[in-house]
Structure 1
Amino acid sequence: MKTSILLTCALLISNNAFASKHVHWGYSGEQGPDNWASLSGDNFSCTGNNQSPINLTGFIESELKPLEFYYQAGGNKIINNGHTVQVNYEKGSYIKADGIQFDLLQFHFHAPSENHINGESFPLEAHFVHADKNGHLAVVAVMFKEGVENKGLAAAWDKIPMHEGDSNTFVKVIAANSLLPANKGYYRFNGSLTTPPCSEGVRWFVLKEVVEASKSQIEAFKATMHGPNNRPLQAINARVILQ
């Protein structure tokens, strides 16, 4: 049963950035985060004890093994689903963590950042969403600060769909690794999806090094969303955050 649920979640993530086709949700008002759990019985995890995002602080020193990135160019389609802008990825790219292969399904963005680091919020955050062969999920998060133009982001934004429901196909597939910092050191915690159904048991890897994006690139994403698309911070509770 658990494996079946995880595989279903992975399929939702790959196809629709966590969005349910049957239950409308959003980031404000009656359909906002405070009410997600009441919108559908499928969203029961939204009131769980291991929810994301969080403020990463109070770190525990640990000898974390390096994340192994095996990314190749594979971003073939960009979608505006009304909740985020998402780039779907072809098979063949993955990370290795805990000796397990997690295949890259897609990456998407939130503005402002969902996670904070030592109380600091960032203007943009990217989530690279992966799943292993059993549907277990792993998310690599990258923070952006305002600075010079980001060439990797420019390749995606060249086809950014401005309206909900729109999508574009890349003539030349784009490379996810162009959005990653040179230093792959990370913070680690156990959490959840940051959108309904808020499923827990997600491995989170937040890269320490912050990358830059230009003000116009950050504003271009905001213009497509017509408002913030970040879930409020959730309680850490008994979790530890490793570095």
Structure 2
Amino acid sequence: MRTSFFSVLGFFASFGLTLAVSAQQSSTSIPPTPPTGAPWSYYGHTGPSNWGRLDPAYSACAKGKLQSPIDIRNPKLNKALPPIEFHYVSGPVNLVNTGHTIRVNVTPGGYIVVGGARYELIEFHFHHPAEDLVNGKLSDMVIDLVHKNAAGELAIIAVRLNEGQDNGALAALWPSLPKTAGATTSIDATFNPLGLLPSDRSYWSYVGSITVPPCTEGVHWLSMQNPADISQDQLQTFGRLYPDNAHPLQATHGRKIEASQ
């Protein structure tokens, strides 16, 4: 099966993607574990190889054909892919240690427009190491910026991080990383997620899934072609909290992967 979001603009509407979120969280974030779902982890009997057996709601983790992450290999240039329009806002942020990652809940009001569709930025979070491969190569980390439209459909912008220079945007967050599961911290100073993005915002596009249970499919992934830097110290700081919180590679099943200019 070959699937392209931009060639089938009605895909999300026909798919009817739904999110298992609580009433409190539905407007702000994807919870690390759905309220009625079984506990899961990245290790052992509750790890990724068993997610699909932990709860019937997680069946897509084992049986889905549009799962993420994938190896982004030989993407096809599509000159018709529109640029992503970023309209992020500055403001305070809240950091949450979910027990699976660090999630940053942003000041409401930021959004992107892609293919004529508007998606509100609701949160971003981190995986160490990165999840998608690029021509078989894995980056040190990835930032996933999660956006949702009025129908609850997701567009996730992935920014890969490779060891290099100190990352100024992360430097504003790292001193406030909550150290224990369930802990939260706040940064009252203004933070703009735009600073997380590389200057060249060309991207790869494919249809996939969220990378944690329930592994819901129909997610529009927009992966920045150019990675950003992160220093060794910054990598080690996050790695002490989450040494391995990445979903293993999934089969592409013939999905179309397109590249913008």
TM-score computed with the length of structure 1 as normaliser: 0.94
Q: How many Å separate the matches in 1 of 2:92 and 2:83?
A: 24
Q: How does 1:129-208 map to 2 (within 5 A)?
A: 129-208=146-225
SS of residue in 1 equivalent to 2:76: coil
Cα 1:114–1:17 change in 2 (3 A) is farther
TM-superposed deviation, 1:58: 2.2
Instruction: State the match for 2:41 in structure 1.
Output: 26
* Counterparts of 1:207 and 1:87, CA distance in 2: 19
Check conservation: 1:17, 1:84, Cα contact below 8 A: no
What's the CA shift string for 1:122-147, capped at 9, x where partnerless? 11100000000000100000011111
> Secondary structure at the residue paired with 1:158?
helix
8 Å CA contact 2:89–2:107 kept in 1: the answer is: no
Encode CA deviations 1:186-213: one digit per residue, 9 max, x unaligned.
0000000000010000000000111101
Q: Which moved more, 1:177-186 or 1:16-25?
A: 16-25
> Relative to 1, partners in 2 of residues 1:75 and 1:24: Cα closer, same or farther, differing over 3 Å?
farther
Bigger mean CA deviation after superposition, 37-46 or 138-147: 37-46
The change in CA–CA distance for 1:214 and 1:93 in structure 2 (over 3 A counts) is same
The residue number in structure 1 matching 2:4 is: none
Answer yes or no: is the 8 Å Cα contact 2:105–2:122 preserved in 1: yes
Contact 2:92/2:107 (<8 A) preserved: yes
SS at match of 1:234: coil
For residues 52-77 of structure 1, give each alpha carbon's deviation from its aligned partner in whole angstroms, at most 9, with x where no partner exists.
00010021121111011111114520
Matched-pair contact (CA < 8 Å) for 1:17–1:86: no
Matched, 1:221 2:238: yes
Pairwise CA RMSD? 2.0
Amino acid paired to 1:107: F
Give 3-state SS (helix, strand or coil) of 1:86's partner. strand
Which of the pair is proportionally richer in helix?
1
Q: Aligned residue for 1:14? A: 28
Q: How does 1:63-74 map to 2 (within 5 A)?
A: 63=79, 64-74=81-91
**Matched length:** 242
* CA–CA separation in structure 2 for the residues paired with 1:28 and 1:7: 24
User: Is 1:92 paired with 2:78?
Assistant: no
Q: 2-side partners of 1:183 and 1:214: how far apart? A: 20
User: CA separation in 1, counterparts of 2:135 and 2:207?
Assistant: 17
Structure 2 residue ranges without an equivalent (≥5): 1-13
Q: What's 2:228 paired with? A: 211
Q: How far has the Cα of 1:90 moved from its partner?
A: 2.1
Asked if the contact 1:73–1:174 (Cα under 8 Å) also holds between the matched residues in 2, the reply is yes
Instruction: Give the deviation of 1:46 after TM superposition.
Output: 1.1
Q: Percent identical across equivalent pairs?
A: 33
The separation in 2 between residues aligned to 1:210 and 1:15, in whole angstroms, is 24
- Provide the residue aligned with 1:50 in structure 2: 66
CA distance in 1, matches of 2:132, 2:231: 20
Q: Distance in 1 between matches of 2:195 and 2:21?
A: 27
Which TM-score applies when normalising by structure 2?
Answer: 0.87
Structure 1 unaligned blocks of 5 or more: none
Per the alignment, in what secondary structure is the counterpart of residue 144 of structure 2? strand
